[in-house]
Structure 1
Amino acid sequence: MRRIQTAILVISLAALAGCQSDDPAKDMMTDYYQRLGNVLDAPTPDFTAPELPTLPRKRDLVQPLDELRMGVLDAYELRQCGLFNLIAERNSSLGKVADRFRQLDYELKFIDTAAQCLPQVKDPSIHAELEKALALKRQQREKVIWNTLIDSDAWRAQLNLPAFTLPIELPAHSNAVNTIAQFSQLIPSTQAPTESVTDWQESIEKQPILGDLFVSLSYHTAWLNQTSELIANHQDKVRCGGNFDTTRLKRLQTVFYKFYVGDVQPYLARVDGLYRDLAPALARLASLNTPDTFNDYKNAYWKGDAYQAYKAAIKHHADVWQQLFQRCDVKLGQ
């Protein structure tokens, strides 16, 4: 008998575990929407997921670079200032298979080292060749940054759009935010960072927050707009004042305070705060010259179109509630 009871308990626990959602934030929005529908005695059509801009394939985004060939690598001046060793390391067997972060690290170090070497070079032909090489590297600097952004596994982990939105209680993400900000500061700067960019790779890869944030902006905008439409289209069912039965109004107030103000609104504010933390970095990334195939993604998430739609949806939702409460002479906070 005890074994049977134990088996039933295990099965029950497994069933409960199976009912747990992988996306609690979407569940919270759905619950809020359904509760409003129940109080308003209104149909609640299934949510229509928004159409998200796709992140194009790597091969459609990578920008080609001009090859640099120097015939004076063994010149004494280049050995003395460290440029020879840097190039030799890049041309080694390991250097030739370096990933995008290491390639970027090399390019930044080359520009920095070559700029320091140039005043030390006395031979006119070597000076002219190094000057030409430095100009090419500087010209291609942003392309190398872009190729790292779009072709490295670490950055693709950040930029890919997942199936889930951000969790209700946002995880610690300060390292990722700081690292993304550091990386973005390479774009306006002409100086190499004081540390190797490879030191940033792990944090970018292991704390993917951008894709989750972008999906959250789009999905929650659509949810808010659909929920606002539900309230606006059926608020005439809410009787208030005079001798009318105000039961429905009181139930709506409960949903507003307990589920919207208590749960949904704080979560939306946390998502908003995370985007604002990342917005300066995203704006710098958006300043890069990118292929046309990337425009939809770039405009939505880097330039902030999705965020502006998100803010507008939050304001519209608040306005719909305010119109309802004003009609019924209900003061918020009472």
Structure 2
Amino acid sequence: MRYVFLICCCWLLIGCERDTATAQFKTYSQRLANVLDISAASAKPGDIPEFPATRELTLPVEDIRIGILDAYELRKCGLFNLIAERNSILGKVQDKSRQLRYELMLLRGIEHCLKTLPDDFELSDELRSFEQQKQAQLPIYLWNMLVTGKEWRQQLTLFHQPFSLNEFYGFNESLNAFKYLLYLSSQINDQQSVPDKQAERVLYHQEQIHPHHYFGQLIYSISLSSQWLDAITTMLESQEQRIICGEGRNQQTAQYLTNVFYKFFATDLQSYLAELDSQYLEIQPILSQLLLQHSLKTPEMTPYINYYLMGEMHEDFRRATLAHVQFWQRVFKRCNIKVGRSPLG
């Protein structure tokens, strides 16, 4: 039974490997190399930035306290229970998402108290001071959650496994979650309180993104695709003069290469690259706005932001894709091969 189990596991692993973009790139490279009778090219691991450590990104937040008796007085406007919950045993070990939720609801509660309590309420001045201090701290709580909270941080951390050819798990969940954070950021920057129902949604989005490593997997997939394209294009260009074309000449090599192009690149890889490009262009502006807000306070983020969000990685990807396509355009033109139809189709 042990051997049967191991064999089944091996077949499962092989099946998964066949479905990955890496496997398709490998096969594409190998089939081209077979036609040219040379060694296949392979992607060389690039030196790309990792997401900085938690300790390098955490911004300090001053602890603001209120006396127990004063807090009890706030029962008159419904705020005491929230403060008591935060100071309970469970409240003191809240994760980053629940900390942000509490701060949003606390600020909303202070605003409510100032509007509903009598003008001569003895804690009014203190509450106004708390409101100003807490309002100033909200961007930091949001930042700390985004870059150090477990579920949020894992979306941004480089995930060393490319997406499969037809599966991009986590796109909608991550896009919606980051859009929500952008909404929170806008409200905070405009010093607008966030309704409690909206504050609760931070926990909903945390749950939705929990199973995924979306952006970290997306940028790894894009970087790895660039490396594969560069390697294969360089291999093809080194053999370009051996691809014989012309009237009355044997174009068998060109025809075989074209068949490989259509079977492996045009059929699967081209649509995969286009989807990576499309998803990146949709999520990049949102993440750029979120991560640039405190980048000056955390210089460790600069290499990550510059490479993944400010154009370096995407420019490399577009350049690598264009160079590969231009190679085939040259071959098709020189060999008079009609684009869009395999010669043996």
TM-score interval, smaller chain: 0.7 to 0.9
Alpha-carbon deviation of 1:297? 1.8
Check whether the contact 2:70–2:123 (CA below 8 A) recurs between aligned residues.
no
Tell me which residue corresponds to 1:321.
328
| Structure 1 counterpart of 2:239 | 234
Cα shift at 1:151: 2.0
- The equivalent residue for 1:269 is 274
- Calculate percent identity across the aligned residue pairs: 31
| Contact residue 111 and residue 134 of structure 1 kept, 8 A | yes
TM-score normalized with structure 2 length = 0.85
Instruction: Give the whole-Å Cα distance in 2 for the aligned partners of 1:242 and 1:223.
Output: 33
Structure 1 residues 52 and 21, CA gap change in structure 2 (3 angstroms): farther
Aligned to 2:132: 135
Equivalent residue for 1:80, pick from 76, 80, 83: 76
For this pair of structures, how many residues does the alignment match?
A: 328
Shift of 1:172: 5.0
| Counterpart secondary structure, 1:243 | coil
Name the CA distance, whole Å, in 2 between partners of 1:10 and 1:92. 48
User: Given the alignment, which residue of 184, 187, 199 partners 1:186?
Assistant: 184
Q: Which runs of 5+ in 2 are unaligned?
A: none
Q: Does 1:30 align with 2:32?
A: no
Q: Deviations over 1:178-226 (max 9, x none)?
A: 2232233322223425330112221111233222111101111111111
CA displacement at 1:27 relative to structure 2: 0.9
For the 8 Å contact 2:244–2:250, the answer to whether it is kept is yes
Residue pair 1:100, 1:152 contacting (<8 A) in 2 also: yes
Higher mean displacement: 139-148 or 164-173: 164-173
| Alignment partner, residue 3 of structure 1 | none
Matched residue type, 2:65: R
Aligned to 2:249: 244
What's the secondary structure of 1:93's corresponding residue?
Answer: coil
Aligned-partner Cα distance in 2 for 1:201–1:246: 57
Partner of 1:299: 306
Q: Which amino acid aligns with 2:90?
A: L
Amino acid at match of 2:326: D
Q: Determine if contact 2:41/2:231 at 8 Å carries over to the other structure.
A: no
Paired residues for 1:1-334 under 5 Å: 16-17=11-12, 19-20=14-15, 22=17, 24-71=20-67, 73-74=70-71, 76=73, 78-121=74-117, 122-123=119-120, 126-171=123-168, 173=170, 174-190=172-188, 191-192=193-194, 194-195=197-198, 196=200, 197-290=202-295, 291-334=298-341
Q: Is the 8 A contact 2:155 2:216 kept in 1?
A: yes
The 3 A distance-change label for structure 1 pair 64 and 8 is closer
Q: How far apart are 1:250 and its partner, in Å?
A: 0.7
Tell me which amino acid in the other structure corresponds to 1:146.
W
Q: Offset of 1:328 from its aligned partner?
A: 2.6
Deviations 1:114-135 (A, max 9, x none): 2333344523873332222212
CA distance in 1, matches of 2:141, 2:280: 26
Are the counterparts in 2 of residues 185 and 284 from structure 1 also a CA contact under 8 Å? no
1:304 Cα deviation (Å)? 4.5
**Is 304-313 or 260-269 further displaced after alignment?**
304-313
CA distance in 2, matches of 1:159, 1:212: 8
Say which is worse superposed, 219-228 or 20-29, in terms of deviation. Answer: 20-29
Matched AA of 2:243 = V
- Alpha-carbon distance in structure 1 between the residues aligned to 2:60 and 2:230: 42
Q: Tell me, what secondary structure is at the counterpart of 1:185?
A: helix
Distance 1:304 1:186 in 2: 26
After superposing the two structures, state which structure 1 stretch, 246-255 or 66-75, moved more: 66-75
Distance 1:144 1:132 in 2: 18
